[in-house]
């Protein structure tokens, strides 16, 4: 996480917002310490309602909820990301948000919700799965 933070700060300070946001969107599985803060900083560099903002909100929401810091805030961030995906009609972004949300549901033992969201992910078209990465 430390090297990602250094890279993000470097690009942000150099004025390369797109590279800074790309660093913040690097997938971090199992690492939640610092992710929420990195995503928050990257959100300041994006347009609200953009796909990048949706991806950052999803990652931030999952990180906040999975760290046990503030489940309600994490769910609110996931909801905001899902709203962006639906407003833009972006199936790949919606799939990413749902995948993050499944992890949160699973952690908090919300089995029915996790199953329902997982099923929505399973019916995604193959081309959407490739883009959602």
Per-residue model confidence (pLDDT) at position 29? 59
Residue 115: CATH number of its domain: 1.25.40.10
Residue 10, domain extent: 2-132
Assess whether pLDDT exceeds 90 at residue 79. Answer: yes
Closest CA to 113 of 75, 80, 83: 75
Per-residue model confidence (pLDDT) at position 129? 53
The span from the CA of 16 to the CA of 34, in Å, is 21
Contact between 28 and 13 (Cβ < 8 Å): no
Assess whether pLDDT exceeds 90 at residue 73. Answer: yes
Per-residue model confidence (pLDDT) at position 127? 62
109 dihedral zone (left: phi>0; alpha: psi -120 to 50; beta): left
Per-residue model confidence (pLDDT) at position 61? 94
Total structural domains within the chain: 1
The pTM is what? 0.87
Straight-line distance from the first to the last Cα atom of the chain, in angstroms, rounded to the nearest whole number: 20
Backbone angles phi, psi at 25, to 5 degrees: -85, 0
């Amino acid at each position: 996480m430390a090297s990602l933070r250094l890279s993000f700060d470097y690009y942000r300070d150099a004025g390369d917002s797109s590279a800074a946001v790309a660093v913040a969107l690097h997938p971090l599985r199992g690492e939640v310490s610092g992710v929420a803060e990195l995503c928050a900083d990257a959100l300041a560099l994006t347009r609200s309602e953009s796909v990048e903002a949706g991806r950052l909100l999803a990652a931030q929401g999952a990180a906040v909820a999975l760290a046990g810091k503030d489940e309600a805030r994490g769910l609110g961030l996931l909801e905001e990301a899902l709203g962006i995906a639906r407003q833009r009609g972006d199936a790949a972004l919606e799939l990413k948000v749902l995948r993050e949300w499944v992890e949160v549901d699973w952690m908090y033992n919300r089995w029915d919700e996790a199953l329902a969201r997982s099923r929505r992910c399973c019916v995604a078209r193959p081309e959407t799965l490739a883009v959602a990465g």
